[in-house]
Structure 1
C-alpha cells in the first residue's frame, strides 16, 4: 500500500512540474505611478491595456504634447511656458497628479493659432480691429532678443558664479548668503511656489506674459503664493541651498517655455 501511494504521489508531482514549465506566465497589468506622471511603457497614444488615451486624435499637432515617461504637469508647463493650473483646466484634468504616457495634452491656450514650430501666434490688432493675420508672439531669435518691454532686472545682488549653458546649465547661478533677498525680475504672477520639481529645491515660477517665464530656485524660504501678483524688485524669497551643493540662486528666463540666456535680458553690471 505504501508503495502504491509513493507512485501516485510521484505522478502527481511530475504532472504539476510539467504544467508549470510549459504554461506561459501571465502578468497582471502594471500602472507606473510617478507623482504627476502615471506612465505605461509604450509611449504611444494607446495604453498597455489597449485603451485609447485622452487626446489621441491630437497627437503630433502644433500646440499639443504627448506625455513621456517621468513627466509631471508642472514640468510640461515649464517647458511650454504655461502654468500647470492652466494645463489642468484646458485638458479637463480632474486630478492633475495623474497623467499617462501617451496621453496628449493641450499646451497652448484654446483658440490660439500655433505654428508648426510650436510658436503661439495671435491676431494683429490695428486700431482696435483684428486684421486676421497672425503675428508671432515672440520675436525672431537674435543675439539681443527684445524683452517685450518687461525690463528685467537682476534678481539678486550676489556675484555671478555660473553662466548659461544650453546643455548643462539652463540659467544663471548667483552667489549669496542664506537669507539674502531674491527679487522678482519683472512684474508678473506666481504660477508655482513649492518644491515639486527635482533639482530645483524650493522654487518660484513667475509668468510675465504669454512669452516669458522666470524661475528662481534653491530658496530657503518662499514669501509668495500661487496666483499672487508681484512687482518688479519685490522680495519673493530668501536665498538658500535646497537641492543644491551651496547657497545660491539659480535663475532662469524661459521664452515660449525654452530656456534662453538671462544675460541677454539683464542690464550690464
Structure 2
C-alpha cells in the first residue's frame, strides 16, 4: 500500500476513534477560558464568585484564603476585590468597600477545610480512604459510569455518569450548598455541597439547578437535573473533594 494512502487511512482511523465517544473530559479552566494553571499570587473577584468557588478552582483551603485577606467568618467578598491566594503575595486591601455589593460564600455552620493543591489526592499507600465516622454517601444518579476517576487527558477529577436530560441529580449526602452557578468554565451549571470539615461534593453539566447557596440539603434530595452544559453529551460529572483534593468517588460511594 502506498505510504501516503496508509498515512491518510491511519489519520482517519484515529480521528474517528477520538470522536466516537462524543465526550471531552472536564478540565478546570479560569474564567478567561485558559488552561488550568497553578494558583496565581492574587485573584480579582468577579461577579458570581464566592470564596468557595475561587478555592475550588485553584484547589485551595477557603479558610486559608480568608485568613490571608483578613476576611471574617461571614466570608463576604465583592466584585473587584483583589484576594491574596499565596502567603508570599503582597498584602491587599480586603475590607468591604462602602456600598459595594457583597458576595457571601455562605459557609456551613460546621466549617470546611481544603488543602492547597489541585492534584488528585491520595491517602495511605496512594489510596484515598474514607475516615471513620465520615460522611454517609449515596449515589447522585443511577446511570452507568462512562469515564472513571483519573482517566482521560487531562485526568478526570471525578466520575462521569451517563444520563438523559431532565433526569434527577440528587445530593450525595447531607450538607449545605456553597455554590450554585456556571462561573467555572468546563463544568457548566454546577452545584457544590459542603458536608463537613473535610468533604465537598460537586455536580456539573446540569440543565437546571433547584438550590441556592446557603440551602441545607439531605441525602437523596433532588438538587438539579441532568444536562450537557459545558459538555458534549448529557451526563453528570460528579466529584468528591477531601481536604480540597479530588478523590475517587468509588472509594466512598456504596457498591452497586
Please indicate, yes or no, whether the TM-score normalized by the shorter chain is above 0.5: yes
> Is 1:67 matched up with 2:42?
yes
Cα 1:200/1:173, change in 2 over 3 Å: same
Give distance in 2, aligned partners of 1:230 and 1:94: 24
Q: Which whole-Å deviations, capped at 9, do the CAs of 1:104-130 have from their partners, x for residues lacking one?
A: 699xxxxx9x9xx869xxxxxxxxxxx
Cα 1:95/1:223, change in 2 over 3 Å: same
Is the Cα–Cα contact under 8 Å of residues 53 and 179 in structure 2 kept in the other structure?
Answer: no
Please identify which structure carries the higher strand content: 1
Task: Report the counterpart of residue 97 of structure 2 in structure 1.
Answer: none
Give distance in 1, aligned partners of 2:163 and 2:136: 23
> Is 1:197 matched up with 2:184?
yes
* TM-score using structure 1 length: 0.57
Task: Report the counterpart of residue 139 of structure 2 in structure 1.
Answer: 154
* TM-score using structure 2 length: 0.59
Q: Shift of the alpha carbon at 1:94?
A: 5.3
Give distance in 2, aligned partners of 1:159 and 1:205: 22
Is the Cα–Cα contact under 8 Å of residues 198 and 243 in structure 2 kept in the other structure?
Answer: yes
Determine which of 169, 184, 188 is the counterpart of 1:182: 169
Give distance in 2, aligned partners of 1:90 and 1:266: 34
What is the correspondence of 1:1-269 to structure 2 with a 5 Å cutoff?
Answer: 66-67=41-42, 73-78=51-56, 79-82=59-62, 89-90=71-72, 95-99=78-82, 102=89, 141-142=124-125, 143=127, 145-147=129-131, 148-165=133-150, 167-269=154-256
Is the Cα–Cα contact under 8 Å of residues 202 and 222 in structure 1 kept in the other structure?
Answer: yes
Q: Shift of the alpha carbon at 1:168?
A: 1.5
Unaligned runs of 5+ in 2: 1-29, 33-37, 95-110
Give distance in 2, aligned partners of 1:96 and 1:103: 19
Give distance in 2, aligned partners of 1:212 and 1:206: 9
Give distance in 2, aligned partners of 1:178 and 1:261: 25
Q: Shift of the alpha carbon at 1:268?
A: 1.1
Cα 1:211/1:249, change in 2 over 3 Å: same
Q: Shift of the alpha carbon at 1:68?
A: 6.2
Is the Cα–Cα contact under 8 Å of residues 83 and 192 in structure 1 kept in the other structure?
Answer: no
Give distance in 1, aligned partners of 2:166 and 2:53: 27
Q: Shift of the alpha carbon at 1:212?
A: 0.3
Give distance in 2, aligned partners of 1:158 and 1:82: 32
Q: Shift of the alpha carbon at 1:77?
A: 1.8
Alignment: residue pair count: 184
Q: Shift of the alpha carbon at 1:266?
A: 0.7
Is the Cα–Cα contact under 8 Å of residues 137 and 172 in structure 2 kept in the other structure?
Answer: yes
Give distance in 2, aligned partners of 1:170 and 1:212: 14
Give distance in 2, aligned partners of 1:100 and 1:150: 31
Q: Flag the structure with more relative contact order, 1 or 2, with Cα contacts below 8 A and sequence separation at least 6.
A: 2
